Chain A
């Protein structure tokens, strides 16, 4: 069965960096686009970034563009989110999710359990 397990969350000071990972199993990772989505405490879902199956195409939310980088290692079935210049408003649970496609739209068919990132001094 599809499994997505996020790791790397924790408490970090403003302006510092953090690297999140998502270990995928139970499907052909190298054939699937992947997303990161976050949820601030008590708030709704916010889409963060997507990466194509081959790592070539990447798109970001305006709120993280230039600070966050999405990448993947298909040899290790791992999705990465490198987060730099963190701000208090980046505090959230970060979910990785597998993308599926029904023309012309992506949706997120399986989600991990999330990892909490807290940005605080």
Chain B
């Protein structure tokens, strides 16, 4: 089954840029989606289709895709961005197509 790999943790100072990566075999052929989850809360969609943002999500959060890696970039990081972030793809070649990455804990120093 398809596997998505994320770093367990990323740390960044306020005002700096955080980059959270998501790797997978031939991930360039798949659309990647990103979710933010704060402690005790349900996940929230922040990027879909590699780089589109739902309404209400600030432009500071952006998604990109290059080679075998997708990246969620958070510019001008704020304390409120501290959360777990998950990437997700849909593997149409599988009969269990929903796949999440293991998640990345973003710590704002």
Contact = CB atoms under 8 A, between A and B. Distances in A.
Interface of A: 35, 37, 44-48, 50, 59-62, 65, 95, 100, 102-114
Interface residues of B, number: 29
Contacts, number: 79
Interface in B20-55: 30-31, 33, 35, 37, 42-45, 48-49, 52, 54
A106 B98 contact: yes
A113 B54 CA distance: 19
Q: Which of B48, B89, B97, B98 has the most CB of A within 10 A?
A: B98
A45 B48 contact: no
Given A44-B102, A45-B86, A107-B88, A95 B31 contact: no
Nearest to B92: A104
